[in-house]
Amino acid sequence: MRTLRALGVFAAARLLTRNEARVLCYHGFSYQDEHAFAPQLFMLPSTFQQRLDQIAAYGFNVVPLQELTRRLQAKEPLTNVLAFTVDDGWTGFARFALPELQKRNWPVTLYLTTYYATKGRPVLNVLRRYLSWKGVSLPVPAKDDQQEHDGLLHAASAAGVDLKCSDGGLFELSSPDAVAKLCANGLDLQLHTHRHRLPAEDALLTDEIDTNRRIIEGLSGRPANHLCYPSGEYRRSQFPLLKKLGVQSATTTHLELVNHRCDSLELPRLLDGENLHPVELDAELSGFSSLVRRIRRRG
């Protein structure tokens, strides 16, 4: 890839894909060693700073996600457009990533999943996987959240694993108060379902969106009509229901660029994580990787 980049192949790909937009996707940021545990989900703050320098070198027109979707729906040009999205609402976003974006005056959309954010507890399934990765001997999973929480914390403490960080504990989502303050400073807050799932049953899906939206709009004071599919999973058969619920756009985890052939409820993104080598990010940003994937699909 370095050779191709040096030969100008990436620059040519950029030219060929100049009329397609890029939507970048990030998740959490590390206080300790979370990036070593889940490099697709957590990134070192220093890596993120390098990423922003790398992105800046392209001279993209960084716009709010809503502006990108507006242009898409109005069939306006998407030339040179890029938008930042961050999923879930891990506390490390507000601590490490948001200030760096604000320094550059780059807007960002945060897709907040509200169940754990309102409970004031770490995301238990991720905490369990982390402790297992740390080699901690764990209790049998409890059905009750409070019992599961207490069991995991007890096991961590017995094994000498420190879960404290400058914002409380590892694997927590930003509190409603913290998120409301960020929104008052201009953060765009959007939908990611209440319990981080997209049920197949219409009534349950409606409840997931409605509950998530009620909390989010209460915190931001602005409409929340843009969704990110939790874990990237969705069914096209549910698009009519999502439209009825007022969802104007939805982002996936398909690696692609956004062009006028895209459905607003199926917007692809470029996923960045600690697992990506900088040259791989260049391959994605330039459009080179997308062109290769298109050629392969045709083949």
Contact residues for Zn ion, defined by CB under 5 A:
87-88, 230
- In terms of CB distance, is 71 or 226 closer to Zn ion? 226
In whole angstroms, give the CA distance from residue 23 to residue 62.
10
Closer to Zn ion by CB, 123 or 131: give it: 123
If 0-12 CB within 10 Å is exposed, 13-18 middle and 19+ buried, where does residue 250 land?
Answer: buried
CB of 156 vs Zn ion, minimal distance in Å: 23
Q: Are 28 and 271 in contact (CB under 8 A)?
A: no
Residue whose CB is less far from Zn ion, 87 or 172: 87
Say which residues have a Cβ less than 8 Å from residue 40's Cβ, sequence separation at least 6.
27, 271, 273, 274, 275
The CB-nearest residue to Zn ion is: 87
Minimum gap (Å) between residue 260 Cβ and Zn ion: 27
Assess contact for 97 and 86: CB atoms under 8 A.
yes
Amino acid identity at 176: P
Nearer to Zn ion, 78 or 198 (CB): 198
Beta-carbon contacts of 265 under 8 Å, excluding residues fewer than 6 positions away, are 239, 242, 243, 247, 249, 250
Place of tokens 């898409």: 72
Interaxial angle between packed helices 9-16 and 288-298, expressed in degrees from 0 to 180 and rounded to the nearest 10: 80
Q: Which residue's CB is nearer to Zn ion, number 70 or number 197?
A: 197
Taking the complex as a whole, the smallest distance from the CB of residue 192 to Zn ion amounts, in Å, to 6
Least Å distance, CB 83 to Zn ion, is 17
CB of 113 to Zn ion, least distance (A): 6
